[in-house]
Amino acid sequence: MNLPNSLTVSRLVLTAVFVAAFTCGTRTGYGIALFSFIVAAITDFLDGYFARKLGLVTSLGKLLDPIADKVLTASAFIFLCEHEDIYCPAWVVVVILAREFLVTGLRQIAVEKGQVIAADWSGKWKTGFQIGFCITALVWLFLDALGLQGFFLARLAHPESWLMPSFLWFSLGLTVISGLQYASNARDLFRDKDR
């Protein structure tokens, strides 16, 4: 298994660590969950970078990478949504997950037709805001569990501060926009293919 694929698999392992640690509900658990999520998010960037840089793009990587991304995102949002201290309505999580499944389906159909639907700016920004929301929420839970609510970073990450809700609502908006853009791009590609 090459380096990019190893990083992708490590993201799946780190997601399992994140889930196990988060469900502990302790300061140690939240600390491990925060660390594992950050490292997993970094591997999301690194696996694609090394695959392109080193010419190691493989069919396995193309299959595993989006799966690992969606497992990480879904796990984080589902568990944060269930936490009483974090404001993340269930319907927002449903929209985010629905978009992920929609895009995965469209990409698969496009591949079968010999087409490629490239990621656009909204999809990349969406991912950034989603990661920002999850990290902010995890920072708050960790610092709150440590009793450091008065710490500057804790005040910034507090659920009632502006940062966490901003990440959430921008994530939602960009999720909808990017989903519509993917659907539009897929429609155009399929139309061109059928001509």
Per-residue pLDDT of the chain (195 residues; tens, 9 = 90+): 788 889 989 999 999 999 999 999 999 999 999 999 999 999 988 888 888 888 877 777 777 888 888 899 999 999 999 998 899 999 999 999 999 888 888 877 777 777 766 667 788 899 899 999 999 999 999 999 999 988 898 999 999 999 999 999 999 999 999 888 888 877 766 665 554
* Residue 151 DSSP SS3: coil
- Distance CA(170)–CA(166), nearest Å, equals 6
**Domain harbouring 162, CATH code:** 1.20.120
Cβ-in-10-Å burial (0-12, 13-18, 19+) of 17 comes to middle
Structure tokens of 174? 């960009």
pTM passes above 0.85: yes
Per the structure, the complete domain to which residue 27 belongs is given by: 3-194
- Domains identified in the chain, total number: 1
- Distance CA(143)–CA(148), nearest Å, equals 5
- Distance CA(75)–CA(13), nearest Å, equals 12
The whole-number pLDDT of residue 188 equals: 65
147 Ramachandran zone, left/alpha/beta (phi>0; psi -120 to 50): left
